[in-house]
Amino acid sequence: MNMRGMWTYWGYIAAAALIAAWSSGAATAVLVVLSLAVVSYAAFQLPVWCGAVNRNGTYCRRNASGILMGCGLRQHRWQKIKLMVLRSKAGDISRAVFPTAKEKFGAFIAVGGLASAVAAVIVPVVTG
């Protein structure tokens, strides 16, 4: 894997480091920082398809960075955020916004990272 590839997928490395940190009982600060790194990677950098709906009803297949972002078309970014809200109300968010396995995985690590950040803060409080 070259450096560019490494940079594209650093979020996976952060996710692996996060799992290792949890299993080795790392400090809360370390867990929170790694969790937030994983979440922001999935939200703003993970290479995915844009996924906004074109006028002819097909999904936009241009490259986008992060599951929250659209492609270069500004209209698509707004549309994506709007659709995410609408479709989550309709209970169809996973199929509509994350049509591919890669995007589902992105959503999975984003949610996992968020849960991890929350848990990192709550667990020390609960366990004292």
C-alpha distance from residue 64 to each of 19, 43, 70 (Å): 27, 11, 5
Tokens of 29: 């600060």
| Span interacting with Zn ion, options 50-58, 81-89, 93-101, 118-126, rule CB under 5 A | 50-58
- The helix/strand/coil state of 53 is strand
Give the separation between CA 32 and CA 67, rounded to whole angstroms: 21
Smallest gap, in angstroms, from Cβ of residue 62 to Zn ion?
A: 5
For position 83 contacting Zn ion by CB under 5 A, the verdict is: no
For position 60 contacting Zn ion by CB under 5 A, the verdict is: yes
Give the separation between CA 35 and CA 117, rounded to whole angstroms: 5
Interface residue with Zn ion among 50, 67, 107, 110 (CB under 5 A) is 50
For residues 74 and 89, which CB has a smaller minimum distance to Zn ion in the complex?
Answer: 74
| Span interacting with Zn ion, options 34-42, 65-73, 88-96, 110-118, rule CB under 5 A | 65-73
